[in-house]
Structure 1
Amino acid sequence: MRKLIIASMAAAAFSLAACSEKAQQETSEAGAAVADDAAAAGDAVAEGAAEAGDTVAAGAADAADATAAAAKDAGNAVEGTVKAAGDAADNAGDKIAEETKKAEANDKK
């Protein structure tokens, strides 16, 4: 009887050991799969962040170009306005000189 109990316990221990090895293998495989999934998710996040960064950089470059073009256009408009004001002042000066000559000529008569 004693031998039967010892043999049964040995068989049970062997079964548990075999089950444990199988469970360990499955756990190891599941852990590897989870690690692979986490790495793939990390890669996807990094790629998305890089694409977002590229999009922001391109948008900033476009905005800078548009701002520079607007500043150039504004500068040209100011330059044109100043030139027109200078021309108007010259014409007014010429007109004043002309009218002054006429007035002096009338005074002499």
Structure 2
Amino acid sequence: MKRLSILAGGLLMFSAVLTSCRDTTEKETVVREVEVEKEVQTPEEAEEREGILERTAKEVDKEVNKEIDEEIDKIGDDN
């Protein structure tokens, strides 16, 4: 029992010595500002950058909106 307590005390002292001798290094954070030039695009260039799904979705939206407008015109003005 006495040997166990001496061993535990020695282990605690040993771990305290190891942790207290560590060097603490501070990391320096550098923040830099970067200017980004915005490119001016013509509508044709913007359309070329869009994928096939985006162009198809725009066409479908136009057709759906046209059908909705026609249905609203059929219903008429309630006022």
TM-score interval for Structure 1 and Structure 2 normalised by the shorter chain: 0.3 to 0.5
**Relative contact order (alpha carbons < 8 A, sep ≥ 6): 1 or 2 greater?**
2
More helix by share: 1
TM-score after normalising by structure 1:
0.25
Larger radius of gyration: 1
TM-score after normalising by structure 2:
0.34
